Amino acid sequence: MSDHLVFMMGEFEAIFPTDRQYAKNHMWALPQAAGVYRFGFTAYAVRLLQDVYFLEWSVDAGATLAERQEMGAIESKKAESALYAPMAGRLPRFNDELLSDPSTINVDKYGRGWLFEIEGSGLLLSAADYINHLESVWEVTQRTIKGQLND
């Protein structure tokens, strides 16, 4: 892996490559072409979700999204959650492989487990700024998950 930063989630190391940017909704963004970003779940999100087994989209490729617009849902061992657009823009494509096997998110979150691409712009954070954000929400997160990291 390229250079990365680490955030400790209890005993678990969440690794964040520095070759990409991050959204506050716990997705990474890797530039693909001018104005196009590929998004996926960060190590933090994957650790909290644990064992993703279902993914569905409520929008179609080609759709125009508003920032924070609901765009799908995910289910895992630990959570069932709506998914929201990390930035405004046009959605050129999804990672169709995940619809038949979303478990790739668990094993290759920064590679083949990517979710979708958006052509647009929005506020994205550096790896260091994202870790600062995690530090600010970690205490609340720990109270919310009530020991599930120890399972």
Domain boundaries along the sequence of the chain: 4-150
| Alpha-carbon distance values, 56 to 94, 96, 102, 124, 125 (Å) | 11, 10, 10, 24, 26
Q: Domain 4-150 adopts which CATH fold?
A: OB fold (Dihydrolipoamide Acetyltransferase, E2P) (2.40.50)
CA angle 125, 147, 129 (to 5 degrees): 10
| 30-78 residue pLDDT tens | 999 889 999 999 999 999 888 999 999 999 999 999 999 999 999 998 8
Mean pLDDT of the chain: 90
pLDDT value of position 151:
43
Q: Report how far residue 19's alpha carbon sits from residue 17's, in angstroms, rounded to the nearest whole number.
A: 6
Q: Hey, how many other C-beta atoms are within 10 angstroms of the C-beta on 63?
A: 15
pLDDT value of position 1:
46
